Structures are given as structure tokens and as C-alpha cells.
Amino acid sequence: MTDLDVTAAAGELWRARSEHELLDGLPADLRPRDLGDAYRIQDAFDAYAGRRVGWKLAATGAGGRAALGVDRPLAGPLYERYAITTGGSLAFGDIGMQTVEAEFGLMLASDLPADGAPYDRQSIVAALGAFVPAIEVPDTRYRDHRSAGGAQLTADTACGGYFVLGQRVTGYDPDALADHPVSLTTADGSASGTGAKVLGSPVEAVRWLANELARDGRGLRAGECVITGAAAAVRKPGSGPAVAHFGDLGTLTLILS
């Protein structure tokens, strides 16, 4: 079997993203055969998307896995170019998935290199820095993302899209995040949840990511932010403010137009 041309695969995904074109799937000769291929395509995607600021997780809850047609979480990069400041606006009409999510974000204060895996909860907590409230607007380049499969979805930055990061909070209890509530209010709907919706706890979600990346020889770095998947999500939120309220851990807003 010949080596996959990851540069060409990344270029096709970037073209589809830039032209707002939906794909039935990557061409057969550019399709990732496994998650290792998918992560290599993500690496090649950096040449188009630019600087990474962290990682995003998808399908960390049962509902998300069902919505994407996968049986495991997915991981992809967060790119600086898609960051929106709180209170900023986003033209929502071009977003294929038509969903907005409130997510628990965690900064890393120290590295979690591949050679330190497998990581337990204690080692993850020791590496954590600030809590960061987040809103994500996931997106996909596939017409039917439920049938694309985990490798293709991962190659497509794990349905990465625009995101908002709020004020960092240093005085928080990582052990309390599983029970911490969040609400998401939009013009046409609302939702609520807790940190337990993401693999039982946002800390556990970061642990999963560190061990997942280590299997491919990758690590997490100090200063990166991990947003851990949808704790509350609204599909077809309508035009107007989407407000994610994390209680004493912060509130942030994205204006959808």
C-alpha cells in the first residue's frame, strides 16, 4: 500500500472549507486509513490554518457520539484564526452543523509528553492551570457527517470550527467540575448540563486526550487550552446572543447573525 499524500488530503479539506463546499467524503486515494493517518492530515492542515492554541474534543458524551455516528471521542486542533472574543459576532448561515455548544476548558500549566503516558488523574490535575469557560461552533466539511467515520472526521479537525474563550479562572477546584452546572441560552432554545457530560468530568476528558495523543507519539504542551466537548448544546439556535453561563466560573457571549 502506498503512503497517503497527507498534504493533498489537507489541501482538499482546506479547499472545501474555504469554498463552503460539502463533500461526500475525501477521495479514496486521500482518505485516512486509521487515526494515525488522520492526525498526520491534521499536521499538514497547519500549513493552511496557521497557529494552534490548543485542542478540542468531540463526542465526549453519548449524545455527541450518536450525532456523529462514532463510538469513541475525537480530538482536533484549535486554531487561533477561528478564535472570537466574548461578545463578538459570527455569520452563522455558512455553518453546516448549525449547533452551538457550551464547553468546559482547561489550560495546561505544564507539559504532558508522550513518554509520560499512561497518565492517571493525579498527574493530570498536577499539570492543570486555569479553568476557561468556552463556546464552540462545530462544523464539518462532510455532507453526511454521521456516515463519514471517525478517521475522516478526525482528519477534518474533529469537526473544528469557531470558538470563544472566556476569562481564565485560577481559583477553582478540579474535583468539583463534574458537578458544576452550565446553561446555554440562545434566541430559539436553551440547554443545561454539568461537567459530568464530558466523559464523566472535564479532568477525565483531558486525561483521555493526553493518553490518546501519546499512543501516536504526541503530547500536550504548557499554555495549550483543551475544550472538552459539549456540556450543553443547542441546535438551530437562531439569530442573536448565545450566552453560556458557568455560575461563579464565568459567563461569555457569542452573537449569531
Domain that holds residue 208: 51-256
Q: What is the pLDDT of residues 176-190, one digit of tens each?
A: 999 999 999 999 999
How far is it, in rounded angstroms, from Cα 155 to Cα 40?
A: 8
Q: Is the pLDDT of residue 200 over 90?
A: yes
Q: What is the pLDDT of residues 65-107, one digit of tens each?
A: 988 999 999 999 999 999 999 999 999 988 989 999 999 999 9
Q: How many CA atoms lie within 13 A of 132 on its CB side?
A: 28
Does some domain include residue 230?
Answer: yes
Does some domain include residue 68?
Answer: yes
For the chain, percent of residues with pLDDT exceeding 90: 95
Cell of 237: 439556535
Helix (H, G, I), strand (E, B) or coil at 26: coil
Does some domain include residue 72?
Answer: yes
Q: What is the pLDDT of residues 206-257, one digit of tens each?
A: 999 999 999 999 999 999 999 999 999 999 999 999 999 999 999 999 999 9
How far is it, in rounded angstroms, from Cα 196 to Cα 102?
A: 13
Q: Is the pLDDT of residue 1 over 80?
A: no
Does some domain include residue 31?
Answer: no
Does some domain include residue 13?
Answer: no
**Number of folded domains that form the chain:** 1
Average pLDDT, the chain: 96
Cell of 11: 489541501
CATH number, position 204: 3.90.850.10
Does some domain include residue 57?
Answer: yes
Quote the pLDDT of residue 2.
Answer: 59
Does some domain include residue 178?
Answer: yes
Does some domain include residue 229?
Answer: yes
Contact 125, 252 (CB under 8 A): no
Q: What is the pLDDT of residues 137-161, one digit of tens each?
A: 999 999 999 899 999 999 999 999 9
For the chain, report the end-to-end CA distance as a whole number of angstroms. 47
Closest to 117 in 3D by CA, of 212, 198, 205, 43: 212
pTM of the model: 0.96
